Amino acid sequence: MADIQTIFQETIKFAAEKHGSQKVKGSKIPYVVHLTNVAMEIFMAARKTHGFDLGYALQLALLHDTIEDTETTRQELELVFGKDISEGVWALTGDPKLLKEYRIPDCLAKIRRLPREVGAVKLADRITNLQAPPKSWSKSHIRDYLYDAQQILQALKGSNDFLEKRLEAKIEEYGKYLKVSRSESLKV
């Protein structure tokens, strides 16, 4: 088994090549920054969680959007990283064949059938995504995104106590983007 540094370096190179010039939504930040933020959440969770498979979770964290956002296939992931990683990334992927409202419940059902590290990556991903929403998002979109985060937290209870607490706090904080400021309410 390779050491954590080697696992990280080999996996981040693959992910960075696959995501190419992709940016974080609503920003000029390279997408690889999001992937490393998810990985940092996983590093911290591993420090706080007995028996946590850091190597497995780290690869999932760095690869979690490759099927969804790039031309990477499950078969390619299996060839390069093995069946467990391929299955984990597939579970973290919203199935584009499903209507949007069924993607998260389907994804969560797949995640719950796999090791707890897969759920931890989903929690870590949502934690890092609960930043200031893009300016183009409507209140309705923000509300839906917040609802999805609550759904993820509820469905993955027991995956990782540390990340669950972090996501609870992020959900609470994200609620501020739904509040109407006094100056906005005066415009109406």
The dihedral sign for the CA sequence 169, 184, 26, 107: positive
Distance CA 5, CA 163 (A): 22
CB 151 within 8 A of CB 102: no
Residue 11 CA to residue 112 CA, distance in Å, equals 24
- Has 95 been annotated as catalytic? no
Contacts with 56 (C-beta within 8 Å, 6 or more apart), sequence order: 84, 85, 88, 115, 117
d(C-alpha 39, C-alpha 24), whole Å: 16
Kindly provide the residue ranges of all beta strands, DSSP E only, lying in the chain, ordered along the sequence.
none
Q: Select which of 10, 53, 65, 68 is catalytic.
A: 68
What per-residue string of b and e applies to 50-79 under the rule 16 or more CB within 10 Å gives b? Answer: eebbbbbbbbbbbbbbbbbebebebebbbe
Residue 53 is a catalytic residue: no
Catalytic residue among 69, 161, 172, 173: 69
Helix (H, G, I), strand (E, B) or coil at 139: helix
Which residues are designated catalytic? 68-69
